[in-house]
Amino acid sequence: MMKETRPSLTIRKAELETVCGVTSKLPENSLREFAFAGKSNVGKSSLINALVQRKALARTSATPGKTQTINFYNVNDDFYLVDLPGYGFTKANESVKAQWGRMVERYLRSSRQLRQVFLLVDMRHKPTGDDCMMYDWILHNGFRPVVVATKLDKLKKNEIPKARKLIRETLGMEEGDVLIPFSAETKLGREEIYRLLLEPGKDCPEASRDLPEKKGVNLPEKKA
Ligand SMILES: Nc1nc2c(ncn2[C@@H]2O[C@H](COP(=O)(O)OP(=O)(O)O)[C@@H](O)[C@H]2O)c(=O)[nH]1
Ligand SMILES: [Mg+2]
């Protein structure tokens, strides 16, 4: 196993600042926001913990969570990591799906500070239909998703190129789109994510966003 490298970002502060439920008003933050999307259990909380260098700031669990909230983690009073509610609705009923859709939709459309959306997919498997839907949905909202392939440590070295290719092809990623293999165990991939969080271009509002193109958005429950 690869050795953990010393992180280049010093965390002076990492706090869960805002938790938004379905009916909550979204915060009008002045700091930049980076959102993380993915199906339940893909490793979203583990990734956020790795980024803030805490064991359990974001709660991790072996069973997919039922609470649908958007959580804003303030990091160094410099930016927010935004934990979007997980999807993967094999057991969820239609009203839960619809509620999830409205909530995520509202956030993606209305946040003025959102700079980048990271989509997490499990590196061991072909992206699911829900993953593809989420990828397209992020695109429709004017962002180019950065894909983080989680649980890298579970793959053998020789399986990695094939897994990368399968993810890129299944999601329909383009040449210049970024795919970052990541492991919460070894922290491999973390530095590459830090670089994106600290990119100079990400300081300027709307920099990464293609806002004029407000086309109709397909809610996931309609698309499936
Ligand atoms: N081996 C390994 N396990 C992981 C990794 N990331 C998450 N997990 C495990 O996958 C499960 C779900 O992780 P969690 O972060 O709670 O997923 P979330 O539902 O997307 O927030 C937990 O048991 C984690 O320990 C990883 O990179 N490697
Ligand atoms: Mg979680």
Collect residues with CB below 5 Å from ion ligand 2.
Answer: 44-45
Q: For residue 199, give every residue at least 6 positions away whose Cβ sits within 8 Å of its Cβ, in sequence order, or none.
A: none
With respect to residue 5, please indicate whether it lies within any of the assigned structural domains.
no
Per-residue pLDDT tens digits for 63-104:
555 668 999 999 999 999 999 999 886 667 788 888 888 899
Point out the ligand nearest to the CA of residue 118: 1
> Which residues span the domain enclosing 28?
14-223
Nearest CA to ligand 1 atom 26: 151
Confidence bin at 213 (pLDDT 50/70/90): very low
Name the residue with higher pLDDT: 203 or 50: 50
Confidence bin at 6 (pLDDT 50/70/90): confident
Write down the mean pLDDT value for the chain. Answer: 87
Point out the ligand nearest to the CA of residue 181: 1
Could you tell me the distance, in angstroms and rounded to a whole number, from the CA of residue 190 to the centre of ligand 1?
Answer: 15
Could you tell me the distance, in angstroms and rounded to a whole number, from the CA of residue 213 to the centre of ligand 2?
Answer: 31
With respect to residue 68, please indicate whether it lies within any of the assigned structural domains.
yes
Confidence bin at 24 (pLDDT 50/70/90): confident
Could you tell me the distance, in angstroms and rounded to a whole number, from the CA of residue 213 to the centre of ligand 1?
Answer: 35
With respect to residue 8, please indicate whether it lies within any of the assigned structural domains.
no
With respect to residue 20, please indicate whether it lies within any of the assigned structural domains.
yes
With respect to residue 6, please indicate whether it lies within any of the assigned structural domains.
no
**Residues in the chain, overall count:** 224
pLDDT at residue number 12: 96
Could you tell me the distance, in angstroms and rounded to a whole number, from the CA of residue 212 to the centre of ligand 2?
Answer: 32
Report the percent of the chain where pLDDT is more than 90. Answer: 68
pLDDT at 219 over 50: no
Q: Which long-range contacts does 205-210 make (Cβ < 8 Å, 24+ apart)?
A: 205/112, 205/113, 206/112, 207/115, 208/115, 208/116, 208/143, 208/144, 209/114, 209/115, 209/142, 209/143, 210/142, 210/143
pLDDT at residue number 46: 95
Atom of ligand 1 nearest to the CA of 150: 27
Which of 1, 39, 41 is the best mutation target for the ligand 1 pocket, counting ligand atoms within 8 Å of the beta carbon and taking the most? 41
Nearest CA to ligand 1 atom 2: 151
Atom of ligand 1 nearest to the CA of 186: 27
With respect to residue 4, please indicate whether it lies within any of the assigned structural domains.
no
How many structural domains are present in the chain?
1
Q: How large is the average pLDDT for residues 147-161?
A: 98
With respect to residue 97, please indicate whether it lies within any of the assigned structural domains.
yes
Check which CATH number belongs to the domain holding 185 and give it.
3.40.50.300
Using DSSP, state whether 83 is helix, strand or coil.
Answer: strand
With respect to residue 130, please indicate whether it lies within any of the assigned structural domains.
yes
pLDDT at residue number 217: 45
Mean pLDDT is highest, among 15-29, 91-105, 119-133, for 119-133
Q: Say which range, 82-91, 130-139, 198-207, has the weakest mean pLDDT.
A: 198-207
Cross-sheet strand order for the sheet of 70-75: 14-20, 70-75, 79-83, 32-38, 114-122, 146-150, 179-181
Atom of ligand 1 nearest to the CA of 42: 20
Per-residue pLDDT tens digits for 169-195:
999 999 999 999 999 999 999 999 999
Q: Which residues line ligand 1 (CB under 6 A)?
A: 38, 40-46, 60-62, 86, 150-151, 153-154, 183-185
Nearest CA to ligand 1 atom 28: 151
